[in-house]
């Protein structure tokens, strides 16, 4: 048995815009996560699958045969094609970005899966045993090598550019409810060994209402090797203004692994989305980059159009598809949280920026 890290064996996590063989989803089913809105949340996911399936396979975890039949009805014609595949892999909840495998590619393009520990965002939502078992089942279904690590690491807490950099937040990865036995330096070394990155770019806090303790995929994302999209809130009276302004300042002072300063594009926050007076973590940054489309969470407000325009400029070769996410975000996440990309094996990482 080798003790070498994935990086030492030549594996790296490719950026999300590099070609996928599939997008993996765990279908929403937990009524406690989406109280009284599970059905409209499923409608949003059905629209997402329909948009994705035109350009790539969509793999969907379901609870079993009856649940598969239900999801097929939700999907309608989209479920009839060969592009949609079902796996009877029961989950506790639907957040495949966080409980699913994180996929990496070897120097020869060989696909492998990282099986990181999952504890439901610091033990917040027991039980999570079914979710924690999903990476191994995904790897087995694809017949790929699996690297098992005891480090608690959710996919939504990291974002890579494929050129040596990973973005994350102190609020999440330094939180003692994840890996209290690891120091900041040790966490950086683990990320380098798992993801094949050269440096970790640390932001501070995430947005209000985010129960993941500040996942980076709600605030700041790479959209090319040297371009970072980050959300801002210009209203100084808004609770998100100060942490987002601080993050913007950090980004301006950063240098990428190759020494270049990143190009920074600002993305507006939506107007506050609330449920019963409680702020929800609605963010346009929780978009998902498919092969042909970019799924953008929309909230039926004027800022949706501005966000779509900015995203479209970042991804001129893809079609930005705004999909209503108001009900999804009641579950405290949106399209990026609910998806996990499977990179296409055999695709080298060189030149990945050209695919954005």
Average per-residue pLDDT in the chain?
95
pLDDT computed for residue 150 by the predictor: 87
All structural domains of the chain with their residue ranges: 20-349
Cβ neighbour number for residue 270 with a 10 Å cutoff: 24
pLDDT per residue as tens digits for the range 40-65 = 999 999 999 999 999 999 999 999 99
Active site residue 116: no
- Give which of 278, 296, 277, 276 is closest to 286, Cα–Cα: 296
Q: Is the pLDDT of residue 301 over 60?
A: yes
Architecture of the structural domain at 20-349: 5-stranded Propeller (3.75)
As a whole number, mean pLDDT of residues 7-17 equals: 98
226-235, 236-245, 251-260, 347-356: range with lowest mean pLDDT:
347-356
Categorize the per-residue pLDDT at 2 as very low, low, confident or very high, splitting at 50, 70 and 90: low
Given the residues 96, 116, 172, 337, the one annotated as active site: 337
Question: Who contacts 1 (Cβ-Cβ below 8 Å, separation ≥6)?
Answer: none
C-beta separation of 301 from 66 below 8 A:
no
pLDDT per residue as tens digits for the range 249-286 = 999 999 999 999 999 999 999 999 999 999 999 999 99
Q: Is the pLDDT of residue 351 over 60?
A: no
Q: Is the pLDDT of residue 347 over 70?
A: no
Question: Who contacts 321 (Cβ-Cβ below 8 Å, separation ≥6)?
Answer: 51, 293, 294, 295, 296
pLDDT per residue as tens digits for the range 90-147 = 999 999 999 999 999 999 999 999 999 999 999 999 999 999 999 999 999 999 999 9
Phi/psi at 38 (5° precision): -60, -40
pLDDT computed for residue 354 by the predictor: 34
pLDDT computed for residue 348 by the predictor: 53
């Amino acid at each position: 048995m080798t003790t070498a890290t994935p990086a030492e064996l030549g594996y790296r996590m490719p950026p999300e815009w590099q070609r996928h063989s599939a997008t993996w989803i765990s279908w929403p089913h937990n009524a406690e996560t989406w109280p009284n809105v599970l059905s409209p949340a499923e409608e949003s996911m059905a629209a997402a699958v329909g948009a994705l399936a035109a350009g790539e396979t969509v793999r969907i975890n379901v609870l079993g045969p009856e649940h598969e039949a239900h999801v097929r009805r939700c999907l309608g014609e989209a479920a009839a094609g060969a592009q949609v595949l079902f796996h009877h892999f029961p989950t506790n909840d639907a957040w495949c970005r966080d409980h699913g495998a994180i996929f990496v590619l070897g120097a020869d393009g060989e696909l492998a899966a990282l099986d990181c520990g999952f504890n439901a965002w610091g033990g917040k939502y027991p039980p999570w045993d079914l979710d924690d078992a999903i990476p191994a089942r995904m790897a087995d279904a694809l017949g790929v090598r699996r690297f098992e690590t005891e480090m608690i690491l959710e996919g939504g807490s990291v974002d890579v550019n494929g050129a040596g950099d990973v973005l994350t937040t102190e609020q999440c990865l330094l939180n003692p409810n994840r890996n209290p036995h690891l120091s900041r330096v040790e966490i950086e070394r683990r990320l380098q060994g798992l993801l094949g990155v050269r440096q970790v770019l640390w932001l501070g806090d995430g947005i209000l209402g985010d129960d993941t303790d500040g996942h980076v995929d709600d605030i700041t994302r790479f959209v090319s090797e040297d371009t970072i999209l980050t959300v801002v809130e210009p209203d100084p009276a808004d609770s998100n203004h100060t942490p987002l302004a601080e993050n913007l300042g950090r980004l301006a002072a950063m240098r990428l692994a190759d020494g270049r300063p990143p190009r920074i594009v600002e993305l507006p926050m939506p107007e506050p989305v609330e449920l019963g007076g409680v702020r929800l973590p609605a963010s346009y940054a929780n978009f998902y980059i498919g092969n042909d489309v970019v799924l953008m969470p929309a909230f039926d407000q004027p800022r949706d159009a501005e966000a779509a325009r900015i995203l479209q400029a970042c991804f001129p070769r893809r079609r930005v598809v705004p999909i209503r996410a108001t009900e999804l975000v009641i579950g405290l996440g949106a399209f990026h949280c609910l998806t996990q990309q499977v990179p296409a094996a055999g695709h080298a990482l060189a030149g990945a920026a050209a695919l954005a």
